[in-house]
Amino acid sequence: MQLKNLADKYDQALIRTNVGDIKVQFYTMDAPLSVNNFLNLAEEGFYNSTMFHRVIKDFMIQGGDPNSRDSDWSNDGTGGPGYQFKDEINAHKLVRGSLAMANSGPDTNGSQFFIVTADETPWLDGKHTNFGYVTDGMDVVDEISAAAVNENAHPLKDIIVEDVQLLNSAD
């Protein structure tokens, strides 16, 4: 995994969805690998046309799986960029608005991420890297969180990440 150091250039991103926009600020100093991974994937268009494939009301919304682009819902949640990287557990608790890496166990981070909608999730602290937080568009996150879902927490209507724009708060 060879990543460009984009965290020196960008400290925010705008996740554009078919529901609305979600602006996030990164914890660059506390999760540099996770931030750079997200920025690199976003810059290359990896997240474009992926879905928020897992939505659990009053808990979280999850996206970032390339498998979610196809019509086969059974493989959603299993895809990634073709590599994994280590956790960067830090002091930031996973609370409402947190942006964190989804994983299937220790040090299995890839491309999938989630945004917390619960006020707090102490059972996740120490298990998922918190690498940022929502600064604008929490109303969009809440609208996504309220979507009708099937028995596997997959939204019944497509919630599409159209693209991710990289931003610098100094601009």
Residues serving a catalytic function are 54, 59, 62, 103, 114, 124, 128
CB neighbours (10 Å) of residue 4? 12
How far CA 144 is from CA of 1, 20, 25, 104, 141, in Å, comes to: 32, 9, 19, 23, 5
CA distance 32 to 136: 22
CA distance 140 to 67: 23
CA distance 3 to 6: 8
- The tokens for 88 are 């960067």
Give the DSSP H or E segment for 164.
strand 160-167
